[in-house]
């Protein structure tokens, strides 16, 4: 299973902080994002946001990053710390 | 409350003291002639709205890791001695301190450059998000293109 976590405005828009997704048929972060977008029309709209960033196991990732069962994948808006 | 601390990075809700942090950077440090510090504070205006408070959310686990990576990059690029980064999380008010970056080096060019680099990279890579409160309600602060462009210049 892949642990998926959401932060900040994205978490609020989805009304979800985390969920578990089977890694079957999901090879990359992009595959996972497309899978999440298919959950509902609402999620589809939100994941159409091209500014979203992702991280795999606490490292910034891009859409081609390969993922596997046991990974933690996070999606979040551009960061605003400091 | 301190959520994470090693000698160089601290993610915490509590305030910090500039004087204490400088003392730590200078204590038993006879080789470094330069100490450069930066403090970031909560301002009362953002995007034309009067801010009353802000809440800092963070990705526990990744924040520490991303700051470690940034500090390592700074050490590879410049000859620096000690580094300390403190970032507060939770609810903060106007005038409160948010972030501290302290760097020492033998000569000042390295400490100045490394400190600016660490702040510029923190702004675009460290997973923190600010939610501001104003009379008009609460809203998430938007990331700025100027920060993205500044980081790209390094």
The predicted-structure confidence for B36-85, as pLDDT tens digits, reads as follows 999 999 988 776 778 889 999 999 999 999 999 999 999 999 999 999 99
pLDDT on residue B5: 61
Q: Look at residues B40, B8, B38 and name the one whose alpha carbon lies nearest to residue B25.
A: B8
* Chain B residues within an 8 Å CB radius of A78: 124, 142-143, 148
pLDDT on residue B49: 77
Q: Is the pLDDT of residue B3 over 80?
A: no
String of DSSP letters for A9-32:
HHHHHHT-SEEEE--TT--BHHHH
Kind plus residue range of the DSSP H or E element containing A37: helix A29-37
User: CB distance A79–B140 less than 8 Å?
Assistant: no
Query: Which residue ranges make up each domain of chain A?
Result: 2-76
pLDDT on residue B44: 84
What are the distances in angstroms from CA B53 to CA B4, B20, B24, B95? Answer: 24, 26, 30, 10
Total count of domains within chain B: 1
10 Å Cβ neighbour count for A67?
23
pLDDT on residue A76: 97
Chain B contact for A60, CB < 8 A? yes
- What domain range includes position B8? 2-152
For the domain that residue B83 is a member of, what is the CATH number? 3.90.1170.40
Distance, in Å, from the CA atom of B25 to the CA atom of B81, rounded to the nearest integer, reads: 9
Note if the pTM is more than 0.90: yes
User: CB distance A78–B131 less than 8 Å?
Assistant: no
pLDDT on residue A49: 83
Average pLDDT over residues A44-71: 95
From the candidates A7, A51, A74, A79, which should be mutated to test the interface with B, based on the most B CB atoms within 10 A?
A79
- Decide if B101 contacts B85 (C-beta within 8 A): yes
* Chain A residues within an 8 Å CB radius of B125: 60, 79
CATH level 3 topology of A2-76: Ubiquitin-like (UB roll) (3.10.20)
The interface predicted TM-score of the complex, written ipTM, equals 0.94
């Amino acid at each position: 299973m892949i642990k998926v976590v959401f932060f900040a405005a994205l978490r609020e828009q989805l009304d979800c902080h985390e969920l578990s997704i089977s890694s079957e048929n999901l090879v990359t972060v992009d595959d996972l994002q497309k899978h999440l977008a298919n959950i509902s029309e609402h999620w589809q709209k939100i994941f159409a946001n091209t500014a979203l960033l992702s991280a795999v196991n606490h490292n910034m990732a891009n859409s081609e990053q390969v993922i596997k069962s046991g990974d933690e994948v996070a999606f979040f808006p551009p960061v605003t710390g400091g | 409350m301190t959520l994470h601390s090693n000698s160089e990075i601290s993610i915490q809700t509590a305030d910090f003291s500039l004087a204490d942090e400088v003392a730590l950077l200078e204590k038993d440090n006879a080789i470094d002639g330069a100490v450069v510090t930066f403090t970031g504070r909560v301002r009362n205006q953002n995007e034309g709205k009067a801010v009353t408070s802000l809440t800092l959310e963070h990705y526990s686990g990744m924040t520490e890791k991303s700051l470690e990576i940034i500090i390592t990059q700074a050490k590879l690029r410049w000859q620096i001695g000690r580094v300390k980064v403190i970032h507060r999380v939770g609810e903060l008010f106007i005038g409160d301190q948010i972030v501290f970056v302290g760097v020492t080096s033998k000569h000042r060019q390295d400490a100045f450059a490394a400190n600016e680099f660490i702040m510029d990279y923190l702004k675009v890579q460290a997973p923190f998000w600010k939610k501001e409160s104003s009379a008009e309600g609460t809203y998430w602060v938007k990331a700025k293109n100027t920060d993205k462009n500044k980081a790209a210049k390094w």
